[in-house]
Amino acid sequence: MKKALAFDIGGTKIYSTIIDEEGKIIADIDKFSTPKTIEGIKDVLKKQIGKFEQDVDFIAIATAGAVNNENTAVIGSTGNLVEGYYTIDFQSLSSKRVFLENDANAAAWAEYKIGASQGSSVSVMLTLGTGVGGGIIINDRLLKGKSGAAGEMHFKMYPDKRRKCTCGSWDCFESYASGTALKWDAEEALNNPDVTTYDVIDGVKNCDNKMIEIFERWQRDIAIGIMGLANLFDPDCVVLSGSMAQFVDIKKIEDEVNKDIVTAPTSVRLATAGNYSGMIGAVLLGAKEVK
């Protein structure tokens, strides 16, 4: 059975382990703080590759940022990684094939193969974390688009420039549905720049009505975005993953989405492929490509 040395490269942490072609994690999970320089990131990768390369068939990397259709390079800048990250020649770090995919795309594939969207002809996955990631699978294929960057959850929630998005544009779904967005909602509602996402979550747990109202607005915005996606893709299901997904009321969102849907009712589900679904998905995708 093929196996791969897997990485998940995010803005704050790099994870690494060995995963087999069925998606089973077969080694310890190594964890590193993401270096703030390109050389630093390359050093982390090189050290791991040096240790484990001989034991695996290929290297699979789930990374922040859009990945090209050849799965060899990151295209363009990624907000929360070091400037110039996309210039890294990942293949040069190993003699084995290095397979890259965007982290949200990879996680969506893991959900499709071993998680919550198994058997779906069309599925949409949203990762609700610091930002919002997206991965769309149609007829057993990841939607990549002409450049590889498809699935960006940057459609507008307002047309009239209210809230700056991290992407440089205004009012994208990400800027209303992310964990950071929940903080912004609270800042606006409470006129307090110091309130945090977790203040809201704690407030909801403690039945604070104001915090509940803020949370409900955030959750309704997520439902409104999903409704649009459901009308575009007519998916079997929409899977929610990421650190913020555990806090939402899945059933309530599903009801809200289906109340006004013009296609056919869809199913909203919590992700089940676990915290390392990015690495698992990258390995499952890579295993199809690497002979």
Site residues, a second copy (CB under 8 A) = 66, 75-76, 120-122, 134, 136, 138-139, 141, 143-159, 167-170, 172-173, 176, 220-221, 224-225, 227-229, 231-236, 260, 262-264, 266
Backbone dihedral angles phi then psi of residue 68, each to the nearest 5 degrees: -65, 170
Q: Taking a C-beta distance cutoff of 8 angstroms, is the pair 127, 242 a contact?
A: yes
Give 58's contacts (C-beta < 8 A, 6+ positions apart).
2, 4, 5, 96, 97, 98, 99, 286, 287, 290
- Least distance from C-beta 120 to a second copy, angstroms? 8
Residue closer to a second copy (CB basis): 32 or 176: 176
- Least distance from C-beta 154 to a second copy, angstroms? 4
- Least distance from C-beta 3 to a second copy, angstroms? 30
Residue closer to a second copy (CB basis): 16 or 123: 123
- Least distance from C-beta 119 to a second copy, angstroms? 11
Q: Which two tokens stand for residue 265?
A: 């009712």
Residue closer to a second copy (CB basis): 48 or 123: 123
For residue 253, the Cα-to-chain-centroid distance in whole angstroms is 19
3-class DSSP assignment, residue 128:
strand
Residue closer to a second copy (CB basis): 64 or 66: 66
- Least distance from C-beta 212 to a second copy, angstroms? 18
Q: Taking a C-beta distance cutoff of 8 angstroms, is the pair 235, 124 a contact?
A: yes
Residue closer to a second copy (CB basis): 141 or 291: 141
Integer Cα distance of 178 and 207 in angstroms: 22
